[in-house]
Structure 1
Amino acid sequence: MNDAMRIYRSGLGLALLVLTGLMVYWLQPILTPFLAGALLAYLGNPLASRLQRLGLNRTLSVSLVFLALAAVAVAVVLMLIPLVGSQLGMLRSQMPAMIEWAQTQALPAIEQALGVDASVIDLNVVRDALSSHWQSTSSIAAGIVQRITQSGFALAGALASLALVPVVAFYLLRDWDRVLAASLALIPARWRDTVAGLGRECDEVVGAFLRGQLLVMICLGIFYAAGLWLVGVQLGLLIGLLSGLAAVVPYLGFIVGIAAATLATLFQFNDWLIPLLLVWVVYGAGQVLESAVFTPLFVGDRIGLHPVIVIFAVLAGGQLFGFAGVLLALPIAAVVAVLLRHAHAFVTG
């Protein structure tokens, strides 16, 4: 009887897990604002709890955190988007000249240095394709905007989804402890302590990655952008931000950034030796700061996610569930990693 009951409960748990996955898949068009709001609430909860421990009530603490997040978001939009837009415009205007430079100077230099024949590479085709793509981008964007504005339902849906994010974030942040307590109360009493312990460990891993790695990415993006700007690289802001975003995977931001910055420096400067050395110094210093300061300070050693797992989780989540899957990918991967470690310890111990 006990074996039959265990099999029944295991089957029921598996069925609930499969049903949850199917629900996420079916409801992904409307899940994004809820997931984005939950992510904001999760990121802001430690600060709200700290303010609450200082003597403020929960609603006031949440309001202050919410206002701070809103102010940061507005500042980023007002300051960063125009700068990035100007950098993209500069990249668009320089793209044909970059392709021409690569065809007439970079490839011959590679042929001479490596002794290979690169004449089969015709970058004119790439230049024509990029030019047509850049020219069509504005018309495509205009067409999308026109379609949205022509359809009242589509416009209302987009505005409603955008407005839902702060609403969901505020109420989840205010009731975060009650939501966790109610969720834990659903667990059978004999499993409650175990589940609570696993939850705390999962929270450490997920929080370290989401909060810590996000801070690492921001710090690296600012450092690389400022360093390249001081060197005089015209596309330094864009390359620096790209390096920061790619830092979600360890060493990927360094590799992508130094490659892009090297090409941009060689293209921009006639006497490129000193600027190139300075660019390499910037990325070398950024790598030292990441490994010696930013990662120990913000992340520590609590993540336990291999870079390959990070890449696979993001790509798999996006492929299966779209943007909602991207938001869920890393938290789920971190939780699965914790559960697998405990399962391995249970089996081998």
Structure 2
Amino acid sequence: MTAEKQMRVWLIGAAVFIALLFLLRGVLLPFVAGMGVAYLLDPVCDRLERMGLSRTLATVLVMAVSLVIFILFLLLLAPLIVSQFLDFLAQLPKIVDSLRAQVENLMALLRDRLDPETLSQLRESLRGSVSSGVAWMTDLLGGVLSGGVALINLLSLLFITPIVAFYLLRDWDVMVSRVDDYLPRRHRDTIRELVRQADETLAGFVRGQAAVCFVLGLFYMIGLVALGLEFGFVVGLLAGLLTFIPYVGSLTGLVLSVGLAIAQFDEPWRIAAVAILFFVGQAVEGNYLTPKLVGERTGLHAVWVIFALLAGGALFGFLGVLLALPVTAVIGVLVRFGLQRYRQSALFGIEDEAESKKAEGGM
């Protein structure tokens, strides 16, 4: 088979795969989530195997411990999160009214210093910003409740994902070996190396970024609760979770917490303390946590991560968010491989450069 025919076969296969992914996106969520769980827990099972346990026993032990941790989380933290979330929804109109009152007070202070036209434009701009923010939050909550966390999706995640994860985790090495047997003989070593690089990139980013999310979420939760901010626990948890998307977590937490602080506190120093908390968290993340826990070896730039998550969510919903990082890691490895081959090819001009140097040496 010629190279052109091989390329045609691979392109047709990729197009069929993407089409099936789009058509079946409504039922693939628990399977993709289970695959992600198995991928993250596979190194733990491998370590237990090296300690003398069978693969089945190691899988049972790892899944049992993971389920116990998850159930403890639901029993201990879920009631508090749900309670604060419902209280936040109930008090949202009061918070909006309080923010509007603060805006009116600010307008009163500026009335004597600005001309009427500028003051009117500023008032309309602030009112529009508050209304847009409330509308955005309402649409976001409505989308979450009607889409990604709908009842049937939630039930499938809770009950089907652990089953899928167990069987995939138990047979992970066997499946990898089977796939390896079907690799084209001519390109097997190259494909293995590319897969190894993609695995290192993805594992380094996901595990490192998960550690960053945990540390920052704990920092924000403790800090906001200590400052006495109402709903500080939920805001800190949300900021920590969204830290998985670079810069989005801290920015979202800053806007929400400062808005709540303005509506709740009368003392300016407490509002400033809430803002300073997030600036400190961002500084610690950028200068210490991310370099130490994630590092630069992943090759995933923050801009590409944000774009991949947003594009995946827009195309495939929550399923696309789960697939965004693996796909980005693979694309990044393929692009670097292509650029490396390009620099070694005649198209880059390396042969012409070598001939030029040889000609200069002969003169």
> TM-score, normalised to structure 1's length?
0.84
The reply to whether residue 235 of structure 1 matches residue 231 of structure 2 is yes
CA distance, structure 1, for counterparts of residue 26 and residue 11 of structure 2: 25
Aligned length in residues:
328
**Partner residue in 1 for 2:354:** none
Deviates more, 1:277-286 or 1:58-67: 277-286
Contact 1:35 1:327 in 2 (8 A): yes
Q: Which runs of 5+ in 1 are unaligned?
A: 149-154
Question: 1:90-122: CA deviations, max 9, x gaps?
Answer: 322332222222222235426729954333355
TM alignment of 1:1-349, pairs within 5 A: 5-109=2-106, 112=110, 115=114, 116-117=118-119, 118-120=122-124, 122=127, 126=131, 162-273=158-269, 275-349=270-344
Deviation, 1:185, is 1.1
% of aligned pairs identical? 35
| d(CA) in 2 for partners of 1:291, 1:268 | 30
Alignment-mate amino acid for residue 343 of structure 1: G
Q: Secondary structure at the match of 2:187?
A: helix
Alpha-carbon distance, 1:210 to partner? 2.1
**Equivalent residues of 2:30, 2:156 under 8 A apart:** no
Structure of higher CA gyration radius: 2
**Does structure 2 conserve the Cα–Cα contact (< 8 Å) formed by 1:202 and 1:335?**
yes
- Aligned-partner SS, 1:45: helix
Partner amino acid for 1:58? R
Q: Which residue type is aligned with residue 227 of structure 2?
A: V
SS at match of 2:299: coil
Instruction: Structure 2: state its 5+ residue gaps.
Output: 345-363
Q: In 1, Cα distance between the equivalents of 2:214 and 2:156?
A: 29
Between the aligned partners of 1:296 and 1:263, the Cα distance in structure 2 is 31
CA RMSD of the aligned region, Å?
Answer: 3.0
For the Cα contact (< 8 Å) 1:224–1:283, is it kept in 2? Answer: yes
Q: Aligned partner of 1:338: which letter?
A: V
TM-score (norm. length: structure 2): 0.81
Alignment check: 8 A CA contact 1:227 1:282 kept:
yes
Q: Secondary structure at the match of 1:13?
A: helix
Deviates more, 1:248-257 or 1:183-192: 248-257
Runs (4+) off by over 4 Å? 113-116, 121-127, 157-162
Structure 1 contact 265–272 (Cα < 8 Å) conserved: no
Residue 119 of structure 1 aligns with an amino acid whose one-letter code is R
**Contact 2:221–2:237 under 8 Å retained in 1:** yes
Aligned equivalents of 2:315, 2:328: Cα separation in 1: 14
